[in-house]
A and B are shown apart, each in its own frame.
Chain A
Amino acid sequence: MKTEIYQPEREEKREDLDILEQTVLNEYKYGFVTDIEADEAPKGLSEDIVRFISSKKNEPEWMLEWRLKAYRQWLKMTEPNWANVKYPAINYQDIIYYSAPKQKINPKSLDEIDPELRRTFEKLGISLDEQKRLSGVAVDAVIDSVSIATTFKDQLAELGIIFCSMSEAIQEHPELIRQYLGSVVPATDNYFSALNSAVFSDGSFCFIPKGVRCPMELSTYFRINAENTGQFERTLIVAEDNSYVSYLEGCTAPMRDENQLHAAVVEIVALDHAEVKYSTVQNWYPGDKEGKGGIYNFVTKRGICKGVHSKISWTQVETGSAVTWKYPSVILKGDHSIGEFYSVAVTNNLQQADTGTKMMHIGKNTRSRIVSKGISAGRSQNSYRGLVQVGKNAEKARNFSQCDSLLLGDKCGAHTFPYIEVKNNSAVVEHEATTSKIGEDQIFYCNQRGIDTETAVALIINGFAKEVMNQLPMEFAVEAQKLLAISLEGSVG
């Protein structure tokens, strides 16, 4: 008899099953508040507040001008209402736009960070101690409006990689910031990007020089802590010719009864033959079962494949937030460039998500791939909204889109809004969509094999989302699988 050499599968190495077994938590486990003194701006938004933020950060004049210009634009704009989400009007004067933990400014070493803040991140599973970190992930930890620490900076600097907070980048690398900030998402792009441009407080900046393959995952962990504040972070990633970086973003917030606004902007620039992989596990507080509280997650993420043969890949696992409004997009300008969007969006209880992507084909032989998996449970609403645009010079552009929805129960909704605009006859655009329900037969089959219903649901949804989960870096995949299971607990059976 022929003996086959058994090759363990990828997901087995990840030991996801053990993780699913651990998913006994029913509650949002990141909902704690850190009691720490904060340095806050007064509530409300005005030119003075913009100046206040800029001066707190000791910014150069050009930066202040940039912010003010954005603010004046914002005043002329109106909040968009085309998304398939409903929420009470936001009072922009009732938000605190700047809140920073009172700690030593610019700690020289990680030891100087307030122990309470360190503990906060430890609790979130993010160690700021480089020695203690097992995996090769460099972290920029952002709490409310400021970055408190960035790890492995020195090691990265040896390769010419810049990985620091946005505030620091404005001080230390003004030429790069002036060149690239707002070059992909202009301040005036939309209502929330204008708002962000006026009041953004911190975020991460990442620059990979020519020919460098970043040896570790770079990540930013965002944490909202203070009450009544909004979080407006700004992330900019620039990958020069022939470089590569994989970037991770994670986020959580305390449980609070009032809604909090998160309006971030992420920009990515990929030059010739560069590749950027951007992964997000979004787990902002989703509100309680009755829909009270939770984060409004209104985010603009866009990358430009500026150079030939460049590639930008977005992967997102969206489980949190009360309302999500987000379309990570790629402008495929360079010939032969590739854009990818892999998404799992889970909504439960009264959560609403309107998310998807835009792929704008400009260069020749550009390719894009969209894989969107929506999982709806409870009374939630989950929409995929995507635009594939092929310009008249985009010879032989290719797009493939796959949008699958999985429904748990019969009180939730799944919606798909695909838009396609093609101006070149040689382009091929394909779209496939399916909607399915978790069947009683599937659950019973699992039960009959000794698997309880909760675990069965976790297995089924992880199977459903597998194509996307496989795109995540290993460190995140495990976390993300746990999250999927936890966010759907109690939704079946």
Chain B
Amino acid sequence: MLKIENLQAGIEGKQILKGINLDIKPGEVHAIMGPNGSGKSTLASVLAGRENYEVTGGSVTFDGKDLLELAPEERAGEGLFLAFQYPVEIPGLSTTNFIKTAVNEVRKYRGQEALDAVGFLKYMKEKMAMMNMDQSLLSRPLNEGFSGGEKKRNEIFQMAMLEPKLSILDETDSGLDIDAIRIVSNGVNKLRGKNNSVLVITHYQRLLDYIVPDFVHVLYKGRIVKSGTKELALELEERGYDFIKNEVNVGEEA
């Protein structure tokens, strides 16, 4: 589904990703872990198409298409979803209204008819029941005055509404207490299926107790330096990132 080959990218002339290789197949959940500054969020931004990041080499194919050629909204249309680490506020714009626009824009891209008000509400109600989402959040202006947990729940609800093929969760656990992590993770787990994949980006292992990955990759200094199964995450938790750093640094010296 997603194939990243030797991806190099940076911002303002500074190289951050120095050759990433990653292959995600339908139905798989991959986790990317790494210390601060390793390039985790840069990877998420580059995949979603944030403008100020510059790709300097490598390729990314998404469902056979050259992802890097597509505008951010086209990537969304193709089924790529990014749950933001810091969801933005849009004062005065109701969350429902925003989601309705998003759903219909994505439907338009996919050649489906736009949902009218009635159809949309029916669809939204189904998803609300599935995700245990209540109305009050959706009536409020988008993310305005939301707590950290509410913002992340809202992200995951949007993910449910847009039915993406690949969801990237960028440090979704940051700033959340354990209850909020559980709620958000339950949401993500409900959305797992054999045709859609998830890329979880996180600093801490604890999120992976709830969203159990098939593969874990360690990102360090812009490269994936170690890959393994979920046990790798536990090892990281136990030994800290230092052992990875040491391994890499020793390797570099040799």
Binding site for B on A (CB under 8 A): 1, 3-4, 6-9, 11-13, 15-18, 20-21, 439-442, 444-453, 455, 459-460, 462-467
The residue from B52, B71, B90, B97 contacting A11, defined by CB atoms under 8 A apart:
B97
Count of inter-chain pairs, beta carbons less than 8 A = 115
B93 at the interface (CB under 8 A from A): yes
A20 contacts across to B, CB distance below 8 A:
101
Is the pair A450, B125 in contact by a Cβ cutoff of 8 Å?
Answer: no
Is the pair B92, A464 in contact by a Cβ cutoff of 8 Å?
Answer: yes
Looking across the interface, which residue of chain A has its beta carbon closest to that of B87? A445
A447 contacts across to B, CB distance below 8 A:
49, 71-73, 76
If A15-B117, A449-B162, A451-B73 touch, whether A4 touches B135 (CB-CB below 8 Å) is yes
> Interface SS of chain B: helix, strand, loop or mixed?
helix
The residue from A11, A440, A459 contacting B51, defined by CB atoms under 8 A apart:
A440
B88 contacts across to A, CB distance below 8 A:
439, 441-442, 445
Looking across the interface, which residue of chain A has its beta carbon closest to that of B102? A449
Is the pair B93, A462 in contact by a Cβ cutoff of 8 Å?
Answer: yes
In Å, the complex CA distance between A463 and B84 comes to: 21
In Å, the complex CA distance between A460 and B76 comes to: 19
If A12-B117, A440-B51 touch, whether A466 touches B93 (CB-CB below 8 Å) is yes
In Å, the complex CA distance between A255 and B216 comes to: 63
Is the pair A450, B102 in contact by a Cβ cutoff of 8 Å?
Answer: yes
Looking across the interface, which residue of chain A has its beta carbon closest to that of B124? A6
A450 contacts across to B, CB distance below 8 A:
73, 76-77, 102, 105-106, 109, 162
Is the pair B51, A455 in contact by a Cβ cutoff of 8 Å?
Answer: no
Is the pair B105, A452 in contact by a Cβ cutoff of 8 Å?
Answer: yes
A12 contacts across to B, CB distance below 8 A:
96-97, 100, 117
If A6-B125, A17-B104, A444-B50 touch, whether A467 touches B162 (CB-CB below 8 Å) is no
**Size band of the interface chain B makes with A:** 35 or more
Looking across the interface, which residue of chain A has its beta carbon closest to that of B135? A4
Given contact pairs A448-B49, A449-B105, enumerate 4 new A-B contacts (beta carbons under 8 Å): A9-B94, A11-B97, A450-B102, A450-B162
> Interface SS of chain A: helix, strand, loop or mixed?
helix
A21 contacts across to B, CB distance below 8 A:
104, 114
If A3-B129, A447-B72, A450-B109 touch, whether A460 touches B135 (CB-CB below 8 Å) is no
Report, nearest first, the 4 A-B pairs whose CB atoms are least far apart: A463-B93, A463-B92, A450-B76, A449-B102
B134 at the interface (CB under 8 A from A): yes
Is the pair B121, A8 in contact by a Cβ cutoff of 8 Å?
Answer: yes
A449 contacts across to B, CB distance below 8 A:
73, 76, 98-99, 101-102, 105-106, 158, 162
A307 vs chain B, min Cβ distance (A): 35
The residue from A7, A17, A446, A466 contacting B135, defined by CB atoms under 8 A apart:
A7
In Å, the complex CA distance between A17 and B117 comes to: 10
A6 vs chain B, min Cβ distance (A): 6
B189 at the interface (CB under 8 A from A): no
Looking across the interface, which residue of chain A has its beta carbon closest to that of B103? A450
Is the pair A451, B114 in contact by a Cβ cutoff of 8 Å?
Answer: no
B158 contacts across to A, CB distance below 8 A:
449
B91 contacts across to A, CB distance below 8 A:
463-464
In Å, the complex CA distance between A90 and B88 comes to: 47
Is the pair B134, A4 in contact by a Cβ cutoff of 8 Å?
Answer: yes
Is the pair B135, A6 in contact by a Cβ cutoff of 8 Å?
Answer: yes
Is the pair B92, A467 in contact by a Cβ cutoff of 8 Å?
Answer: yes
A16 contacts across to B, CB distance below 8 A:
97
B228 vs chain A, min Cβ distance (A): 30
B98 contacts across to A, CB distance below 8 A:
446, 449, 459
In Å, the complex CA distance between A425 and B196 comes to: 66
Contact residues, B135-183 vs A (CB, 8 A): 135, 139, 141-142, 158, 162
Contact residues, B25-70 vs A (CB, 8 A): 48-52
B75, B90, B117, B142: most-surrounded residue (chain A CB, <10 A): B90
B195 contacts across to A, CB distance below 8 A:
none
B28 vs chain A, min Cβ distance (A): 22
Is the pair A460, B93 in contact by a Cβ cutoff of 8 Å?
Answer: yes
B51, B77, B93, B139: most-surrounded residue (chain A CB, <10 A): B93
